[in-house]
A and B are shown apart, each in its own frame.
Chain A
């Protein structure tokens, strides 16, 4: 079982709704990520939080709003989405240290994802 927990597993929303995806990890990891994955495609990076601060935003539309309330939680707030935003949204976490400490930067631990359908 994954140690990154995502809720809800499935979400159906209309284009005018406001909803949130939630992610939680208790591995003490200090970097957390949101990825979007369309069918038969690789995950695409959306946001990276490092030590609870947003460090990477891959030019994601403002209808997606991330939030990192503390080191264990990551939220993705959704508002006025489009049908093409329907996808599997994956949360991941990784150990985070300064360069040169020997910690692998690519060790991402993924949750099982939230399947989003926008009608």
Chain B
């Protein structure tokens, strides 16, 4: 129940294309769903996040779509650029025992070809 399943493991798109990464969860106690972007040799950086009372959130070229009934959420990167090449982690968070816990998906390595 603590797992967040992420797919695909790797993704190659052409510059200008749309990148789509999907995640699914089981635990209905999760109440916050962030996406992190990680470049090689760097720590993860918060990209965009959504709460389950919202079905979609857009920030620039990045959009999260959230389906509460299906317990699924996805990241769409519009007009993908070579600079977007990185590993993307979805995550889900919930308060447990008075402290918050963040569970990560296994990650998707995105390569955007010029």
B100: which of A2, A41, A106, A109 is its contact (CB, 8 Å)? Answer: A106
A116 to B31, CA, bound (A): 33
Q: In the complex, what distance in Å separates the CA atom of A74 from the CA atom of B81?
A: 36
Contact flags (1/0) for A78-89 with B, using CB distance below 8 Å? 000000000000
Separation of A49 and B54 alpha carbons in the complex (Å): 30
Report which of A50, A96, A99, A108 forms a contact with B46, defined as CB distance below 8 A.
A108
Docked-complex contact B46 and A105, CB < 8 angstroms: no
Contact (A50, B106) CB under 8 Å given A2-B43, A43-B44, A112-B42:
no
Cβ distance A109 to chain B, nearest Cβ, rounded Å: 7
Please report which residues of chain A, range 16-34, place their CB below 8 angstroms from some CB of chain B when the two chains form the complex. 31
What's the dominant secondary structure at chain A's contact region?
loop
A55 located at the interface, meaning its Cβ lies under 8 Å from any Cβ of chain B in the complex: yes
Q: A107-B34, A110-B45, A112-B42 are in contact. Are A42 and B89 (CB under 8 A)?
A: yes
How far does the alpha carbon of A83 sit from the alpha carbon of B71 in the complex, in Å? 39
Kindly state the separation between the CA atoms of A75 and B45 in the bound complex, as whole angstroms.
21
Interface size on B, residues (CB 8 A): 30
A-B pairs with beta carbons under 8 A, tally: 75
- Count A interface residues, CB 8 Å: 27
Residue of B nearest to A49 (CB): B99
Known: A42-B107, A106-B34. A90 touches B49 (CB 8 A): no
A113 on the interface (CB 8 Å rule)? yes
Chain B residues with CB under 8 A of A112? 41-43
| Smallest CB gap from A42: residue in B | B104
Indicate if the CB atoms of A106 and B98 lie closer than 8 Å: no
Question: B18 on the interface (CB 8 Å rule)?
Answer: no
Query: Which of B44, B99, B100, B107 has the largest number of chain A CB atoms within 10 A?
Result: B100
User: What string of 1s and 0s marks CB contacts (under 8 Å) between B22-37 and chain A?
Assistant: 0000000001111010
Distance (whole angstroms) from the CB of B92 to the closest CB of chain A: 8
* Contact sample, A vs B, 10 pairs, CB 8 Å cutoff: A31-B99, A42-B105, A90-B44, A96-B100, A104-B49, A104-B51, A104-B93, A106-B102, A108-B44, A113-B42
